[in-house]
């Protein structure tokens, strides 16, 4: 049976839409209200409260914990400071991405890793001979994301930590009312926001406290549909949607390297050794075959396709997650994997894989669009990610 | 009697019917001669107890080749395959291991036993899927002989060589392991949960007198992974109406194509004149003539009984004599007044709609094998159980059930031979073992039928009751099945062809030998 999260007593009661989605063996709300629209706007103008408990979480501890993580992750974990959070991919021996997630340095020898897929076996196999203990703590740690411009004010009312000084991608331990929590200034929305990690026993008390204090700040429980719009605006990729993890790929062309996912910045080739390094060093030299880019559809061209059919243009209010061909100069240049109408930017945007020769910002493309059962092509161009990047995210 | 046919098919098992259908569709005048009062051979359904229908022998569908389903339009001729949803392995300690269809549900269940195994399971499944895909084209081809210099063989080997090079190192190395290792050793590389390894290893020993630790059984594991329905590998199903419906659908397709099917027409021998088959003589003395004679019987029966050694080269006869059968599998068919109530999962549940496997560990199965190795039946056998009436209510009266128990090992060569008493003693061993996990079983039994390899031989006519018409072990597969140099359905007797499971690629209600034999005949005629 599918599991419910530690917040289900609250989220279940709120879910007027009865729209649930599967996530890592749990059910979470797609949207609470009948439409996700208000929930999305809460992310950008107030504060959205998201139940992200289904994330896989691993506790990594021991004298060699940093060494182990440096062996697996492409980023330099050894050089991170206690209280720092790193976003990083990790790869198989061929330098193809297996998963991506965060590594939080809780203290000198203790880390917490989050991932989209189960990774215990991979981690254990790569920890052989090291003094490190790795435990799957997915089911014992509940997690909430509080995302949006008023998120800081809400948390400041509730906990003792100095959030004004908590920088982007940093972590602090705190007491939220009476519950011990860790708060990271991280998220999947590209906005000012925090993620709160807590014992499942405190889940309902923390949820209630946030709602109680947050209501006057516009706190709004939000589901996965709203998050999907925000993460595309933020240019953040999603495993299984935007890329196939190497250990699930059935053919080689389904795999992607970090360079092909625009994560070259997270590959620290100056590290002595890590899984996939030789292959990645070689790829860094010759340059990636593919790149992961932002694409914006040209409105005039898009609208014309509808007008010539006698219809008004229809934009995707909810994000789509299918592979859509992109063309350049008559041939297929790549494919988009996620796309949505951005209600904030008033633009039709998509995340896409393009062969490197067509990946430069400004490159003219065509996106396949189906209008009244007929396949057409709308003009589009490569744009820089993230599509939306407010100053408050880091300020 | 001298009606002229182009082809005679001796034996109306599913392969004979498939071959007949393909030949008839190509315009041949075909007659199928079946000894029994019904077609289907070991793929048949029968009401052995009023109101209760049993797939008496073979009992699931999965390996049936999709191209046959398409070519013969079997759904239109009545084939309806219903899904088998799960596998439950009850354990002696009162716990269980379940494998569910749903990925999340399955992962959570496996993680209860071992988080590592839960993750390895996906990768194992992915690799076996890749391997099944890698080997699948071989099932669809007439096997080339690597020792032959004939142009057809050379071309076939060249294609195969190119194909294997294209597999890439991961798959090629895995194939090597699968061909050489035991199922138990191979699974040890992947998993740590005893019940998972036991249940998976069972696929490696089905139908053979080998244990999970015998080398070569890893390949048989893969053979079962090739089960394919709707293009999905590793999907097993249950034919509505029992496995007799598979045969009935193929027979209907064959008839629709113009095939004549005669039951209660036992063939006494194949007529051979000047080294050429010219027809068959029936037990009643009638003769039926045709240019082509196809034998759906197993190789031993075909050559040593129906043809006769005097028409065959000595070396060939030796090869056929050495071809190993060693039936090891029995069936226990139960009519039940109520569902078995499993101690590990009390009450009625989804697990009743899937397979139930008595395979708590590799050791358990290997111990069962140990007894058979020395000519005894297993006191605590490996069992694969389904309750078809849960999936197809037509199999039993409302509220009642039929249970099909495939049990191993019950060796054909039982010390002292199979008698009625020994057969029932084995039935008792099966029921006693299962009742340890479902205590209400004995009280629920309304009727019991036990089928040993000796019974399979007697009723269906398969030598030593081997369910695959000869063991699926590596030394008698592919270009060695049934004997080297005669693995392409042809025989030393011109005009006589083999089309049963004793030829490539083997048994398992695949239909592939029947189809490939027909295609080989049609190709040869061109």
- Of the residues B175, B201, B230, the one at which a domain ends: B230
Domain of residue B127 covers 115-192+210-230
In this prediction, residue B235 carries a pLDDT of 59
The backbone torsions φ and ψ at residue B38, rounded to the nearest 5 degrees and listed phi first, read: -140, 155
C-alpha distance from A2 to closest chain B C-alpha (Å): 7
pTM (predicted TM-score): 0.87
Q: What is the pLDDT of residue B462?
A: 95
Nearest CA in chain B to A23: B104
A3-55+139-222, CATH topology level:
Gyrase A; domain 2 (3.30.1360)
CB B384 within 8 A of CB B365: no
Q: Provide the 8-state DSSP code for B144.
A: P
Residues B222 and B246 in one domain: no
Which member of B115, B116, B126 has the closest CB to residue A248? B126
pLDDT at residue B229 in the model: 44
- CA pair distance B463, B297, nearest whole angstrom: 9
For residue B150, being part of any structural domain is answered with: yes
Separation in Å, CA of A62 to nearest CA in chain B: 20
Clarify whether residues B280 and B300 are in a common domain.
Answer: yes
> How far lies B286's CA from each of A147, A350, B281, B497, in Å?
88, 77, 6, 21
Q: Do A247 and B126 count as a contact with CB atoms less than 8 A apart?
A: yes
Who among A1, A124, A248 is closest to B116 (CB)? A124
B120/A contact by beta carbon, under 8 A: yes
Let me know: does A288 contact A259? Beta carbons within 8 Å. yes
Kindly report the nearest CA distance between residue A222 and chain B, in angstroms: 24
Contact residues, chain A, for B129 at CB < 8 Å = 250
* Contact yes or no for B517/B499 (Cβ under 8 A): yes
C-alpha distance from A59 to closest chain B C-alpha (Å): 15
Taking 50 as the threshold, does the pLDDT of residue A367 lie above it? yes
pLDDT of residue B140: 62
Q: Kindly state whether A13 is in contact with chain B, defined as any CB-CB distance less than 8 angstroms.
A: no
Residue A4 touches chain B, beta carbons under 8 Å: no
A-chain CB neighbours of B119 within 8 Å are: 118-122
Handedness of CA B161, B162, B165, B171 (dihedral sign): negative
Closest CA to B513 of B321, B251, B299, B265: B299
Show residues of chain B in contact with A248, CB under 8 Å.
122, 126
Q: Please, are residues B253 and B73 in contact by the beta-carbon 8 Å criterion?
A: yes
B108 interfaces chain A, CB cutoff of 8 Å: yes
> Is A136 at the interface with chain B, CB within 8 A?
yes
Measured between beta carbons, the chain B residues lying within 8 angstroms of A247 are 122-123, 126
- Whether B115 and A118 lie within 8 Å, measured CB to CB: yes
Searching chain B, which residue's CA lies closest to the CA of residue A252? Answer: B168
Please compute Rg for chain B using Cα positions.
22
CA–chain centroid gap for B68, Å, is 16
Kindly determine whether residue B123 and residue A24, on different chains, have CB atoms separated by under 8 Å: no
Same domain for B174 and B218, yes or no, is yes
**pLDDT score of A229:** 98
Decide if B108 and A3 are in contact by the 8 Å CB cutoff.
Answer: yes
| Residue B96 located in a structural domain | no
Query: Given an 8 Å threshold on Cβ–Cβ distance, is A2 in contact with B105?
Result: yes
Cβ neighbours of A4 in B, within 8 Å: none
**CB nearest to A25's CB, from B107, B116, B119:** B107
> Quick one: A57-136 is in which CATH superfamily?
Aminomethyltransferase beta-barrel domains (3.30.70.1400)
CA nearest B350 in A: which residue? Answer: A1
Q: Touching check for A250 and chain B: CB below 8 Å?
A: yes
Q: What are the Cα distances from residue A336, in Å, to A157, A264, A321, A383?
A: 42, 20, 9, 13
Q: Is A392 on the interface with B (CB under 8 A)?
A: no
Which residue in chain B has the smallest CA separation from A136?
Answer: B115
CB-based contact (8 Å) between B177 and chain A? no
How many Å apart are CA B298 and CA B293, to the nearest integer?
A: 14
Rounded (10°) angle between helices B168-180 and B217-225: 120
Are B221 and B273 part of one and the same domain?
Answer: no
Choose, out of B119, B129, B231, the residue to mutate when testing the contact with A (most A CBs < 10 Å).
B119
For B135, list phi and psi in degrees, rounded to 5.
Answer: -90, -20
Looking at the structure, tell me whether residues B246 and B226 fall in a common domain: no
Task: State the nearest Cα–Cα gap between A379 and chain B, in angstroms.
Answer: 38
Q: Which of B390, B468, B488 is nearest to B205 (CA)?
A: B468
Give the closest-approach CA distance of B107 to chain A in angstroms.
Answer: 8
Task: Name which of B108, B120, B130 is nearest A121 (Cβ-Cβ).
Answer: B120
- Give the largest Cα separation in chain B, rounded: 70
Q: pLDDT value at position B451?
A: 97
What is the chain A residue with the closest CA to B127? A250
Report CA torsion sign: A321, A323, A324, A327.
positive
Q: Check: CB of residue A229 under 8 Å from CB of residue A343.
A: yes
Nearest to A5 by CA among A30, A32, A23, A31: A23
Q: Is residue B33 part of a domain?
A: yes
What is the rounded (10 degree) CA torsion for B501, B503, B504, B507? 10
Query: Can you tell me the distance from the alpha carbon of B64 to that of B75, in angstroms, rounded to the nearest whole number?
Result: 13
Is residue A333 over pLDDT 70?
yes
Residue B169 lies inside a defined structural domain of this protein: yes
Question: What is the least distance, in Å, from the CA of A329 to any CA of chain B?
Answer: 33
User: A289-391 has which fold?
Assistant: Elongation Factor Tu (Ef-tu); domain 3 (2.40.30)
Q: Is A250–B126 a contact, with Cβ atoms under 8 angstroms apart? A: yes
Strand partners, B519: none
Q: Decide if B397 is inside a domain.
A: no
Query: CA A46, CA A168: separation in Å to the nearest integer?
Result: 19
Q: How many CB pairs under 8 A join A and B?
A: 33
**CA-nearest residue of chain B to A27?**
B104
Nearest to B104 among A25, A122, A247 (CB): A25
- Which of B171, B202, B230 is where one domain is finished? B230
Measured distance CA(B394)–CA(B49) in Å, rounded:
14
Between the alpha carbon of residue B403 and those of residues B55, B336, B392, B426, the distances in Å are: 10, 7, 12, 16
Residue A2 CA from chain centroid, whole number? 23
Are both B214 and B141 inside the same structural domain? yes
User: Which residues of chain B lie closer than 8 angstroms to A122, CB-CB?
Assistant: 119
* Domain residue ranges in chain A: 3-55+139-222, 57-136, 289-391
CB pair distance less than 8 Å for A22 and B104:
yes
Across the interface, do A121 and B130 touch by the CB < 8 Å criterion? no
| B108/A25 CB distance under 8 A | yes
Mean pLDDT for chain B?
A: 91
A119 inside 8 A of chain B by CB: yes
Measured CA to CA, the distance from residue B517 to residue B500 in angstroms comes to 9
Q: Which residue, among B101, B115, B125, would best test binding to A if mutated, counting the most A CBs under 10 Å from its CB?
A: B115
Could you say which residues from 183 to 202 on chain B have a Cβ atom under 8 Å away from some Cβ of chain A? none
Alpha-carbon distance A219 to nearest alpha carbon in chain B (angstroms): 32
Mean pLDDT on A10-38:
96
Cβ proximity of A303 and A341 under 8 Å:
no
A93 touches chain B (CB under 8 A): no
What is the pLDDT at residue B259?
97
Cα(B196)–Cα(B110) distance, integer angstroms: 9
Tens of pLDDT, residues B67-93: 899 999 999 999 998 888 899 999 999
Enumerate the residues of chain A whose CB falls inside 8 A of the CB of residue B128: none
Looking at the partner chain, which of A2, A120, A248 has a beta carbon nearest the beta carbon of B115? A120
Chain A CB within 8 Å of residue B166 CB: no
Chain B positions in Cβ-Cβ contact with residue A1 (cut-off 8 Å): 105
User: How many domains does the structure of chain B reveal?
Assistant: 2
B102 burial level (CB within 10 Å; 0-12, 13-18, 19+): middle
- For residue A125, the distance in angstroms to the closest alpha carbon of chain B comes to 10
- Annotate B235-284 with DSSP letters as a single string: --EEETT-THHHHHHHHHHHHHTT-EEESS--EEEEEEETTEEEEEEETT
Taking CA–CA distances from B105, the nearest residue in chain A reads: A1
Torsion of CA B201, B205, B210, B216, to 10 degrees: -70
Same domain as B258, residue B216 = no
> What is the 8-class DSSP label of residue B199?
H
**Per residue of chain B (526 residues), what is the pLDDT tens digit?**
446 899 999 999 999 999 999 999 999 999 999 999 999 999 999 999 999 999 999 888 877 888 899 999 999 999 998 888 899 999 999 999 999 988 899 999 999 999 999 999 999 988 888 888 787 777 666 677 777 778 878 887 887 777 777 778 888 888 888 888 999 999 999 999 999 999 999 988 988 899 999 998 998 888 777 655 444 544 578 899 999 999 999 999 999 999 999 999 999 999 999 999 999 999 999 999 999 999 999 999 999 999 999 999 999 999 999 999 999 999 999 999 999 999 999 999 999 999 999 999 999 999 999 999 999 999 999 999 999 999 999 999 999 999 999 999 999 999 999 999 999 999 999 999 999 999 999 999 999 999 999 999 999 999 999 999 998 877 887 778 888 888 889 999 999 999 999 988 888 888 989 999 999 999 976 5
The DSSP secondary-structure symbol of B40 reads B
Query: Residue B314: which CATH number?
Result: 3.50.50.60
ipTM: 0.80
Task: Name the residue in chain B with its Cα closest to that of A247.
Answer: B123
Q: Is residue B163 part of a domain?
A: yes
pLDDT tens digits along B417-458 = 999 999 999 999 999 999 999 999 999 999 999 999 999 999
């Amino acid at each position: 049976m599918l599991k419910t999260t530690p917040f289900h007593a609250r989220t279940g009661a709120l879910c007027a839409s009865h729209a649930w989605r599967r996530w890592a063996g749990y059910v979470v709300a797609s949207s609470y209200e009948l439409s996700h629209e208000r929930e999305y706007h809460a992310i950008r103008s107030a504060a959205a409260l998201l139940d992200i408990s289904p994330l896989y979480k691993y506790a990594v501890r021991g004298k060699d914990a940093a060494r182990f993580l440096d062996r697996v992750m492409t980023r330099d974990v050894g050089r991170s400071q206690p209280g720092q959070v790193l976003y990083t991919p990790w790869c198989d021996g061929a330098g193809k991405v297996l998963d991506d997630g965060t590594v939080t340095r809780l203290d000198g020898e203790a880390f917490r890793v989050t991932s989209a897929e189960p990774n215990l076996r991979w981690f254990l196999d790569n920890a052989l001979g090291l003094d490190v203990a790795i435990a799957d703590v997915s089911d014992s740690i509940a997690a909430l994301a509080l995302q949006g411009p008023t998120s800081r004010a809400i948390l400041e009312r509730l906990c003792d930590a100095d959030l004004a000084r908590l920088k982007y991608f940093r972590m602090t331990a705190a007491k939220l009312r009476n519950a011990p929590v860790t708060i990271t200034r991280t998220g999947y929305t590209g906005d000012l926001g925090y993620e709160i990690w807590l014992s499942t026993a405190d889940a309902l008390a923390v949820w209630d406290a946030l709602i109680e204090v947050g209501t006057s700040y516009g706190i709004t429980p939000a589901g996965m549909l709203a998050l999907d719009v925000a993460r595309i605006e933020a240019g953040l990729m999603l495993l299984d949607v935007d890329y196939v993890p190497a250990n699930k790929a059935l053919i080689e062309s389904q795999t992607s390297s970090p360079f092909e996912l625009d994560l070259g910045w997270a590959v620290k080739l100056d590290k002595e050794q890590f899984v996939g390094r030789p292959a990645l060093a070689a790829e860094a030299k010759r340059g990636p075959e593919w790149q992961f880019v932002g694409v914006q559809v040209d409105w005039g061209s898009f609208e014309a396709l509808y007008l010539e059919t006698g219809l008004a243009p229809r934009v995707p209010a909810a994000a789509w997650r299918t592979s859509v061909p992109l063309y350049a100069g008559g041939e297929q240049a790549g494919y988009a994997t996620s796309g949505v109408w951005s209600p904030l930017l008033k633009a039709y945007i998509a995340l896409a894989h393009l062969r490197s020769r067509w990946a430069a910002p400004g490159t003219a493309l065509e996106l396949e669009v189906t209008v009244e059962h007929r396949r057409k092509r709308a003009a589009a161009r490569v744009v820089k990610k993230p599509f939306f990047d407010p100053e408050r995210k880091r300020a | 009697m001298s009606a002229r046919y182009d082809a005679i098919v001796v034996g109306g098992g599913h392969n004979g019917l498939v071959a007949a259908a393909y030949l008839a569709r190509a315009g041949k005048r075909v007659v199928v001669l079946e000894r029994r009062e019904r077609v289907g051979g070991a793929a048949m359904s029968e009401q052995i107890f009023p109101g209760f229908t049993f797939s008496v022998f073979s009992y699931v569908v999965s390996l049936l080749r999709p191209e046959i389903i398409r070519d013969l339009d079997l759904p239109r001729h009545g084939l309806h395959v219903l899904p088998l949803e799960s596998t439950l392995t009850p354990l002696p300690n009162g716990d269980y291991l379940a494998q569910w269809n749903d990925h999340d549900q399955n992962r959570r269940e496996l993680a209860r036993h071992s988080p590592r195994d839960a993750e390895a399971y996906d990768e194992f499944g992915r690799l076996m899927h890749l391997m099944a895909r890698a080997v699948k084209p071989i099932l669809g081809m007439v096997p080339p002989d690597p020792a032959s210099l004939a142009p057809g063989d050379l071309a076939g080997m060249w294609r195969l060589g190119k194909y294997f090079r294209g597999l890439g190192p991961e798959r090629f190395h895995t194939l090597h392991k699968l061909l050489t290792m035991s199922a138990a050793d191979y699974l040890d590389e992947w998993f740590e949960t005893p019940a998972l390894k036991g249940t998976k290893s069972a696929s490696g020993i089905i139908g053979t007198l080998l244990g999970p630790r015998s080398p070569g059984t890893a390949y048989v594991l893969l053979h079962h992974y090739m089960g394919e329905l709707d293009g999905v590998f590793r999907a097993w199903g249950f034919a509505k109406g029992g496995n007799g419906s598979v045969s009935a659908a193929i027979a209907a397709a064959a008839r629709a194509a113009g095939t004549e099917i005669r039951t209660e027409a036992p063939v006494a021998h194949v007529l051979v004149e000047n080294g050429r088959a010219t027809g068959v003589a029936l037990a009643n003395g009638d003769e039926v003539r045709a240019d082509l004679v196809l034998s759906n019987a197993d190789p031993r029966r075909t050559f040593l009984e129906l043809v006769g050694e005097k028409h065959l080269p000595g070396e060939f006869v030796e090869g056929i004599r050495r071809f190993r059968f060693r039936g090891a599998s029995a069936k226990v068919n139960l009519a039940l007044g109520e569902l078995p109530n499993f101690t590990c999962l009390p009450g009625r549940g989804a697990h009743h709609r899937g397979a139930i496997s008595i395979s708590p560990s590799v050791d358990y199965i290997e111990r069962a094998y140990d007894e058979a190795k020395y000519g005894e039946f297993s006191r605590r056998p490996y069992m694969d159980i389904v309750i078809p009436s849960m999936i197809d209510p037509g199999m039993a009266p409302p509220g009642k059930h039929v249970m099909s128990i495939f049990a191993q090992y019950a060796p054909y060569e039982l010390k002292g031979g199979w008698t009625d008493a020994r057969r029932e003693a084995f039935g008792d061993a099966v029921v006693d073992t299962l009742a340890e996990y479902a205590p209400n079983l004995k009280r629920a039994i309304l009727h019991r039928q036990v089928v040993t390899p000796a019974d399979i031989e007697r009723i269906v006519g398969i030598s030593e009751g081997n369910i695959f018409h000869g063991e699926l072990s590596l030394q008698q597969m592919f270009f060695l099945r049934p004997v080297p140099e005669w693995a392409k359905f042809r025989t030393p007797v011109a005009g006589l062809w083999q089309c049963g499971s004793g030829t490539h690629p083997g048994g398992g209600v695949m239909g592939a030998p029947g189809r490939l034999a027909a295609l080989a005949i049609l190709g040869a005629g061109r």
